């Protein structure tokens, strides 16, 4: 798969984020001509973008996806063949705090990148990454399929539903006729080394490690389709390649783990704590934070979040022949091992090692 990207001109929006940093690193290692457009990371925050020195291994432009003129100028300069749209306000709780900014970023940001693609004349493959939360969630025990109703509840989820509809309109009105292969990927919750975002479970576990505190669980029974970030990114890369080579593969795809790997937040946190404590007990490296992890359940009465959410990923498995390589236990172990290596002073070597192992 990665051989395809050698020499390809690729633009990633949101490349300074967690997923974007991993994707940038993969594509640079694959020999692609990689360009990124995204907001800068706050100076006082730890971020994978800084840790992995992404800025110095690719062409990086720091800008706001809401600024169409700036985005268009950079887009015209790069003239990408392949575009991955990851730029977003991705946190549910933050969307309640600032819904206007969330909609501006997630909806008008999508309009802006679609308009750049429409006017470019260079793009052959365009992928808009949305979320599993785009569906109207009825708390069903079975997975949602791509033809289910789109109507996310909270401002983040709903804005991503709108992002899907914007993309659908551009496909039907412009991009199909232009021969631009365009898809959306509705991904589940990803975990992996280097995620330091607020209000995410694994980053909360990492912060508990650093502070020597317990992991606080708000909703231990919430079920989500958790998977390692490399699983989601491999699907994006494969989909962008397949539709580049044959536009018939373009469409709307759920991207998630196998059904048995949709687990509760409590199960995920417990598994992570077990692996972390095992690594600490082994003591093979000089870890900066050799604190064992314990869990405490403490509901906080926060804003509404879906309790049960699963994806049916039959379409991408049958049509593209893509399927996950790592189960949830593999994903948790890889995440804990990356974090342990990072806190033991190994820098980014663990990231490169995991990429090579996954795509071998």
274: helix, coil or strand?
A: helix
- Are residues 359 and 233 in contact, defined by beta-carbon separation less than 8 angstroms? no
> Would you say the C-alpha torsion 118, 122, 126, 128 has a positive or negative sign?
negative
Three-point CA angle 62, 64, 66, nearest 5°: 160
What's the pTM value of the predicted model, to 2 decimals? 0.95
14: which DSSP letter? T
Place of tokens 């990148």: 113
| pLDDT single digits (tens) 17-29 | 999 999 999 999 9
pLDDT tens, residue by residue, 216-234: 998 898 888 899 999 999 9
Give CA 358 to chain center in angstroms.
Answer: 17
Beta bridge partners of 223: 264, 308
For residue 217 the two structure tokens come to 């669980």
pLDDT in tens, 94-153: 999 999 999 999 999 999 999 999 999 999 999 999 999 999 999 888 899 999 999 999
Q: In 192-252, where does DSSP find H-type helix? A: 201-211, 229-245
The answer to whether residue 305 scores a pLDDT higher than 70 is no
Is there a contact between 11 and 3 (Cβ–Cβ < 8 Å)?
no
Percentage above 70 pLDDT, the chain: 98
Q: 2-359 in CATH: which number?
A: 3.40.50.720
Q: Quick count: other Cβ atoms within 10 Å of Cβ 253?
A: 25
Q: Give yes or no for a contact between 142 and 254, defined as CB atoms under 8 angstroms apart.
A: no
Burial (Cβ within 10 Å: 0-12, 13-18, ≥19) of residue 340: buried
Q: Give the residue extent of every domain in the chain.
A: 2-359
Q: Given a cut of 70, is residue 301 above it in pLDDT?
A: no
Tens of pLDDT, residue by residue over 271-280, are 999 999 999 9
């Amino acid at each position: 798969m990665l051989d395809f990207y050698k020499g390809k001109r690729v633009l990633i929006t949101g490349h300074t984020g967690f997923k974007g940093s991993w994707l940038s690193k993969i594509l640079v290692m694959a020999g692609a001509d990689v360009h990124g457009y995204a907001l800068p990371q706050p100076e006082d925050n730890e971020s994978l973008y800084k840790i992995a020195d992404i800025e110095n291994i690719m062409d990086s432009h720091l800008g706001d996806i809401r600024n169409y003129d700036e985005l268009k100028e950079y887009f015209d300069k790069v003239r990408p063949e392949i575009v991955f749209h990851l730029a977003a306000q991705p946190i549910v709780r933050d969307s309640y705090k600032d819904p206007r900014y969330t909609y501006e970023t997630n909806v008008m940001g999508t309009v802006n990148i679609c308009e750049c693609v429409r006017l470019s004349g260079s793009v052959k493959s365009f992928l808009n990454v949305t979320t599993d939360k785009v569906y109207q969630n009825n708390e069903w025990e079975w997975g949602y399929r791509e033809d289910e109703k789109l109507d996310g509840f909270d401002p983040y989820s709903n804005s991503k539903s709108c992002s899907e509809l914007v993309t659908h309109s551009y496909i039907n009105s412009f991009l199909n006729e232009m021969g631009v292969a365009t898809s959306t990927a509705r991904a589940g919750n990803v975990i992996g080394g280097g995620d330091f975002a607020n209000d995410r479970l694994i980053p909360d576990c990492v912060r508990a490690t650093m502070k020597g505190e317990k992991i606080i669980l708000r909703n231990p029974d919430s079920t989500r389709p958790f998977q390692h970030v490399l699983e989601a990114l491999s699907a994006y890369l494969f989909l962008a390649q397949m539709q580049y080579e044959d536009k018939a593969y373009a469409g709307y795809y759920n991207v998630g783990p196998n059904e048995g790997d949709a687990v509760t937040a409590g199960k995920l946190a417990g598994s992570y704590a077990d692996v972390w404590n095992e690594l600490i007990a082994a003591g093979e490296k000089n870890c900066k934070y050799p604190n064992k992890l314990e869990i405490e359940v403490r509901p906080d009465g926060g804003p509404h979040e879906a309790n049960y959410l699963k994806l049916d990923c039959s379409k991408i498995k049958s049509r593209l022949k893509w399927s996950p390589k790592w189960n949830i236990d593999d994903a948790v172990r890889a995440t804990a091992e990356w974090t342990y290596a990072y806190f033991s002073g190994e820098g980014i070597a663990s990231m490169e090692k995991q990429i090579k192992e996954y795509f071998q």
